[in-house]
Amino acid sequence: MREWITPEVLALLRADPWFGSVPKDFEQALLDLATPRRLKHGEHLFFRGDAPDGLYAILEGTLRVSGVTEAGKEAILSLVDAPSWFGEIALFDRLPRTHNAVAEGTVRLLHVPQQDLLSMLERQPHYWRDLGVLMALRLRLTFISMEDLALLPAETRLARRLVWLVEASALTPNEGPCVVPISQTQLGLMLSLSRQTTNQVLQSLQDQGVLRVAYGRIEVLDRARLMDLAGVSSTEKRILSQLQPGGPKGRAADPA
């Protein structure tokens, strides 16, 4: 194993439910191919339309995944933090990147190059299923977000997005408050809400003691209450359990 993959780095990577559930030989194969990368704040990992270049895992920091119109208007799709793996869509279809990915602060990454990974998968094709599980989980989350955007009022949509940001993070503590490193503006962009509406909803949640708003971050004080306000279903709670460290192994793609 590469010398830079310390026991601490390996433990962090295994905290990701997907990577923590893959076969040990596939884990070893990915790490053998991996190289470290570092991004400065505001530096792009890739742009929409770039050629696919492989699979990534975040070791430290946060990436903002977004689309930007020709007029410069940005729509934030997600904030990806350590130790999430991503980039699998272009691995399957080998088409250009679908969105921009830019560093929010300093970011350390692990990069598994596309051609090396495809060569390994040609020799060991059964590993495609594990990558399919990763993509299936991403697809589930996308469908949930699309339904929220189409059907729910602003208050519920915002509460639900905060639930996913908190409960789906491997770095969230098991109990107690959790800090989400996101500004009001970024949260509004993720939900297609105006700054005024976002501020009003957050102020209401703060008045209820659910959260506290600070510069560049939101501190969730009552996670159970937030989940109640978000109307998270039993099925969605099962999905969230798959995203958390220690969740059921190898079941991230349970049938809907």
pLDDT for the residue 243? 65
The per-residue pLDDT for 168 is 67
Same domain, 127 and 12: yes
In this structure, are 105 and 58 located in the same domain?
yes
Alpha carbon 10 to chain centroid distance? 19
Distance CA 252, CA 227 (A): 21
State the CATH number of the domain containing residue 228. 1.10.10.10
Quote the CA–CA distance of 248 and 256 in Å, as a whole number.
Answer: 16
140 & 19 share domain: yes
Tokens coding 40: 């400065």
Q: Is position 248 within any domain?
A: no
Domain count, the chain: 2
Cα–chain-centroid distance for residue 153? 23
**Are both 139 and 177 inside the same structural domain?**
no
Q: Are residues 44 and 133 in the same domain?
A: yes
How many angstroms separate the CA atoms of 225 and 222, rounded?
Answer: 5
What is the per-residue DSSP string for 190-213? HHT--HHHHHHHHHHHHHTTSEEE
Alpha-carbon distance 194 to 144, whole Å?
A: 21
Alpha-carbon distance of 85 to 203, in angstroms, equals 33
| Inside any domain, residue 2 | no
- CA 135, 98, 145 angle in degrees (round to 5)? 60
Q: Is residue 190 part of a domain?
A: yes
What is the domain range of residue 87?
7-144
| One domain, residues 62 and 172 | no
One domain, residues 165 and 229:
yes
Contacts of 229 (CB under 8 A, 6+ apart): 155, 156, 159, 205, 210
Positions of the chain with pLDDT lower than 70, given as ranges: 1-2, 168-176, 242-256
pLDDT at 74: 77
In a domain, 182, yes or no: yes
Residue type, 175: E
Statement to judge: residues 170 and 136 lie in one domain: no
**β-bridge partners, 217:** 214
